């Protein structure tokens, strides 16, 4: 298991665990990040990530990306 921020761009990953406070977990769930779901990094810009999740592209901060374990 590793944080999403360390995965290679374009490589599909399965979300194994989501950390953080209940509020952070709910925020990520609202964005489509759920355990067992597929996610891939599209690009990294200045520490922030553009991530493809559920056929959408979402920007997440490096701090949030470190809470998503793949």
- Tell me the per-residue pLDDT of 8-49, one tens digit each, with 9 for 90 and over: 999 999 999 999 999 999 999 999 999 999 999 999 988 899
CATH homologous superfamily, domain 4-69: Ferrous iron transport protein A (FeoA) (2.30.30.90)
* Alpha carbon distances (Å) from 8 to 11, 21, 27: 6, 26, 24
* Confidence (pLDDT) at 45: 87
* Confidence (pLDDT) at 20: 93
**What sign does the CA torsion over 22, 25, 28, 30 have?**
negative
* Confidence (pLDDT) at 47: 83
* Confidence (pLDDT) at 67: 95
Domain ranges of the chain: 4-69
């Amino acid at each position: 298991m590793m944080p999403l921020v360390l995965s290679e761009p374009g490589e599909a990953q399965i979300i194994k665990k989501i950390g953080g406070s209940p509020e952070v977990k709910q925020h990520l769930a609202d964005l489509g990040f759920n355990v067992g779901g597929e996610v891939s990094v599209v690009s990294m810009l200045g520490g922030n990530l553009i991530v493809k999740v559920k056929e959408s592209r979402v920007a997440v901060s490096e701090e949030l990306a470190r809470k998503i374990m793949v």
